[in-house]
Homo-oligomer: A and B are copies of this chain.
Amino acid sequence: MRGFAYDIDTAVVPAGAGRYTGTLTDRWHIGVVPNGGYVLGVALNAIGQTVHHPHPLTASSHYLGPSEAGPVEVQVEVLKEGRSLSTAIARVIQGGRARLTTIASFADLAAQTGPTLLTLDPPALPPPDECVPRRPPTAAVATAFHHVIDFRPSPRTAGWIDAERGQPAQIEGWIRFADGRPPDAQALPMLCDAMPPALFAAMETGWVPTLELTTHVRGVPADGWLAARVATRALMDGLAEEDCELWDSAGRLVAMSRQLARILPRP
């Protein structure tokens, strides 16, 4: 899938034992810093080149500080390579400082067997063309990210775009790469962090930095749009849990994530 922005911008090359180098570009910026999911994608790329299992089953990421556009080093330490799982720590380092540390377990999603019992439903969305189209970012949210990620919130959960608040802290919509890159397991953790904060539907906030993000990839997605639901049920004393589900175009749940984020006051 060379040629797509996400693959170009998350590419890393080996630079010694357990070391990879790459470049964070400014195409994934939210405001003035790279989207945290994008930085995680670089880390997962490095792990994926190191271990023999193909898919990031679960990744727990602690954000230690904002990243920036420019050279990046990823250090990968394999904790275990087993029959069914490979587990590794990746550290994303810029200027000698770790900006993100993730523990991830890779597996072969196609090889999982056992019972299924699913009581979640995909969000009920009108077709993408009847959702709210991308708009040129306003000055308040000037961000390159809108040009690489095509997110179309359902009209029912899009009031925040016009500064209408007071709704439940839930946003639903369709999401895909703007350049037509098909979704894959490697990209799902990034896409779990690609929607606006669910709290936007409920209240005005300032910056919402992620402290910790854990993603579970539950299936290899079919090509096409992903249906997304993000919701916050527990904002307490300025700290918010946010859960995300991604459903593929065949209606299958392919990713779940939960993060803990800090809600900063509006500047």
Contact indicator A214/B101 (Cβ below 8 Å): no
A250 CB, nearest partner CB in chain B, Å: 13
Residue of A64, A65, A236 most packed against chain B (CB within 10 A): A236
Stretch of A9-17, A79-87, A123-131, A145-153 on the interface side = A79-87
Chain B residues with CB below 8 A from A65, complex form: 80
Total copies of the chain: 2
Chain B residues with CB below 8 A from A87, complex form: 62, 64, 101
Q: Choose one: B98, B216, B262; the contact of A241 (CB below 8 Å).
A: B216
Contact indicator A60/B62 (Cβ below 8 Å): yes
A141 CB, nearest partner CB in chain B, Å: 20
Chain B residues with CB below 8 A from A98, complex form: 79-80
Q: Choose one: B80, B105, B233, B262; the contact of A118 (CB below 8 Å).
A: B233
Q: How far is the CA of A232 from the CA of B216 in the complex (A)?
A: 14
Contact indicator B115/A203 (Cβ below 8 Å): yes
Stretch of A44-52, A177-185, A252-260 on the interface side = A252-260
Q: How far is the CA of A234 from the CA of B265 in the complex (A)?
A: 35
Contact indicator B117/A214 (Cβ below 8 Å): no
Interface assignment of A222: CB less than 8 Å from any CB of chain B: no
A123 CB, nearest partner CB in chain B, Å: 14
Q: Mark A221-232, 1 if CB is under 8 A from B, else 0.
A: 000000000001
Q: Mark A99-119, 1 if CB is under 8 A from B, else 0.
A: 001010100000011111111
A105 CB, nearest partner CB in chain B, Å: 6
Contact indicator A115/B263 (Cβ below 8 Å): yes
Contact indicator A239/B218 (Cβ below 8 Å): yes
Interface assignment of A191: CB less than 8 Å from any CB of chain B: no
Q: Choose one: B57, B120, B236; the contact of A233 (CB below 8 Å).
A: B120
A227 CB, nearest partner CB in chain B, Å: 15
Closest to A85 in B: B211
Interface assignment of A169: CB less than 8 Å from any CB of chain B: yes
Interface assignment of A188: CB less than 8 Å from any CB of chain B: no
Q: List 28 A-B contacts (CB under 8 A).
A: A57-B239, A57-B260, A58-B211, A58-B212, A58-B260, A60-B62, A60-B103, A62-B87, A62-B105, A79-B101, A112-B236, A113-B238, A114-B235, A114-B238, A114-B263, A115-B235, A117-B199, A117-B202, A118-B233, A118-B234, A118-B235, A119-B233, A120-B234, A214-B214, A218-B234, A218-B239, A256-B258, A258-B258
Per CB-CB distance, the 4 closest pairs between chain A and chain B, nearest first, are A114-B238, A60-B60, A112-B237, A117-B235
